[in-house]
Amino acid sequence: MVTQVTKNKKRDYYLCLRLIKNLKMNKLIFTIAFAFTLSAYAQISYADLEDQTGGITQGYGRWGAHQVVEENLEIAGKGTIVFYHPKITATKKATIFFVSGWGQTATTYKKFFHFMASQGYVVVSVSALNPGNIKQSYQNILDMIFKAQNQYPEWIDTSKIGLMGHSYGAGATIWLGKSLFSDATNWGSEGRFIFMSAPWYSLLVTEDDLRNYPKNVKLLVEVSNDDERHDKPETWNTDERAIRAVFELINIPNDEKDFIRVYSTDKTFEYNNVKYSYDANHYVSYTGVHNSNVEYQTYDALDVFAINRISHALIDYVFEGNSEGKKVALGNGDDEQVNMGFLTKLGVTDTPIITRPENEFVYKCTSNWNDFKDRKNTWLLQKGCADSNEDGIIDLLGKLSIAKVNNYTFSVYPVPATEELKIRFTDNSERVKSLEIIDITGKVLYKKTSLNSHVINISKLTSGLYYLKIKTQTSSAVRPFLVK
């Protein structure tokens, strides 16, 4: 009997210990869960800017009045959706679908998502698994967009849709728009736009797809001028020739699209005792994290002016019809569009200039992509980057009926040039009306109203990148050249 009582006491003792342990564990789990809940509602603002400039306080780019709620949704075998909305009673809102760059997650762009949701819009972040399999990952992205709409029908207004993306994700927006803006789906019937930031190749679309694109889409393409790979010096991430081909072929009027170039600024600032500059690299903008090259990308004024301000204005124009928004987002070089405060002004054009030859790009059209063995419906990998005369301009651009302004063909050499720049004409049948040398800011440094020689003295030019513009009676063309 005594033995049994002793056993029971021991059993009760161990049961108590287990109960106490479980209570402690549950308390810990509750604490962790509560911490995650708090982090989901942690509010970001311009107080978080690491250059301490304070951002924009008035007009487009100002921080919105709403608090922001985040919700995560894992889609098995496809990727992750993070849903951002203003902290209000659920109601249908104009919605931005944002596609992450290759291997990036919502964390990389979180500050931008909070900015947009603070304005009262809904943001759906989509990060795809296995982006290297383009056909599958593009389809996965589309599936996740439809999944988000089914999951949050009380929030997403499919009549007002914007597609945004960075790098690989930016390239994907063209194919997504072909699907979502089609007559069958008709998303964005009351307003639709595409904003491509540092875009990679736009794949799975054909030349006919672009020529037949819905005209009522507004398009912004934003490239970073110093989009250099830091792990591979003297090489660049994105092929501007392919981007330009998409921009010029797509069936969108010039007054409803702009090609924007973001420039670096020499000014510096310190954050955590480290000096940073405003670099127009592949990761402008959105960041405040380490990128794939293990470089810390700051959250600073360049993010605010180049991304937040422009996208805010674009949305106001597309969804609200505000003409002031068009002036800032699609102003075709209007001062309100290009002025970035103390930062270098944006460069804006409807006829993009190609600044580098094909051999300087890390990812080339001739790369042997495993999922493109049949080469079907992958137009840009097939011919969209062919440059038979190696002048840095893809062959296709000389044939674009939508860009006749660029069909006067000539090339310049040597590369780089030192004392003299020589011009080689493909067709001499049309007389040259004028010739200009332009620097990277757009300033005309040299102009002649006739051409007596095919050799130009450039000995007074300092080292750097310049453009030669030639006009005839009916057309014009621009070619970049380097001076060393």
- pLDDT of residue 396 exceeding 90: no
Name the band, by pLDDT with cuts 50, 70 and 90, for residue 356: low
Name the band, by pLDDT with cuts 50, 70 and 90, for residue 350: confident
Per-residue model confidence (pLDDT) at position 481: 81
Per-residue model confidence (pLDDT) at position 441: 64
- pLDDT of residue 11 exceeding 90: no
Per-residue model confidence (pLDDT) at position 8: 45
Per-residue model confidence (pLDDT) at position 201: 84
What are the residues whose beta carbons fall under 8 Å from the beta carbon of 19, sequence distance 6 or more? none
For residues 416 and 102, the model is more confident at 102
Superfamily of domain 408-484, CATH level 4: Macroglobulin (MG2) domain (2.60.40.1930)
Q: How does the average pLDDT of the chain come out, rounded?
A: 80
Other CB atoms within 10 A of residue 167 CB = 25
Which of these, 231, 198, 219, 385, lies nearest to 306 by C-alpha position? 198
pLDDT digits (tens, 9 = 90+) for 176-211: 999 999 999 999 999 999 999 999 888 888 888 888
Per-residue model confidence (pLDDT) at position 36: 35
Name the band, by pLDDT with cuts 50, 70 and 90, for residue 78: very high
Residue 127 has phi, psi (to 5 degrees) of -115, 120
CB 175 within 8 A of CB 138: yes
pLDDT digits (tens, 9 = 90+) for 142-152: 999 999 999 99
Other CB atoms within 10 A of residue 87 CB = 12
- pLDDT of residue 1 exceeding 80: no
Per-residue model confidence (pLDDT) at position 364: 63
pTM over 0.85: no
CATH class of 46-349: alpha beta
Q: What count of residues does the chain have? A: 484
Amino acid at the residue 408: Y
Q: How far is the CA of 399 from the CAs of 207, 229, 257, 475, in angstroms?
A: 12, 31, 20, 13
Per-residue model confidence (pLDDT) at position 357: 63
Name the band, by pLDDT with cuts 50, 70 and 90, for residue 439: confident
The C-alpha atoms of residue 299 and residue 286 are separated, in whole angstroms, by 7
- pLDDT of residue 44 exceeding 80: yes
Which of these, 224, 152, 167, lies nearest to 200 by C-alpha position? 167
Per-residue model confidence (pLDDT) at position 287: 65
Per-residue model confidence (pLDDT) at position 179: 94
Which residue matches tokens 């304070």? 54
Per-residue model confidence (pLDDT) at position 230: 66
For residues 135 and 344, the model is more confident at 344
Beta partners for 319?
none
CB 67 within 8 A of CB 86: yes
pLDDT digits (tens, 9 = 90+) for 120-159: 999 999 999 888 778 888 999 999 999 999 999 999 999 9
Per-residue model confidence (pLDDT) at position 354: 66
- pLDDT of residue 116 exceeding 90: yes
- pLDDT of residue 365 exceeding 90: no
Per-residue model confidence (pLDDT) at position 98: 97
Instruction: Give me 228's structure tokens.
Output: 């250099």
What is the share, in percent, of the chain residues with pLDDT greater than 70? Answer: 74
Helices and strands of the chain, counted as H and E runs: 11, 18
Q: What is the DSSP string of 48-90?
A: G-TT----B-SSTTB--S--EEEEEEEETTTEEEEEEEESSS-
- pLDDT of residue 94 exceeding 60: yes
Name the band, by pLDDT with cuts 50, 70 and 90, for residue 84: very high
For residues 296 and 109, the model is more confident at 109
Per-residue model confidence (pLDDT) at position 208: 84
For residues 309 and 469, the model is more confident at 309
CB 243 within 8 A of CB 229: no
CB 100 within 8 A of CB 154: no
pLDDT digits (tens, 9 = 90+) for 213-265: 999 999 999 998 888 776 676 677 777 777 888 898 899 999 999 999 998 89
- pLDDT of residue 34 exceeding 80: no
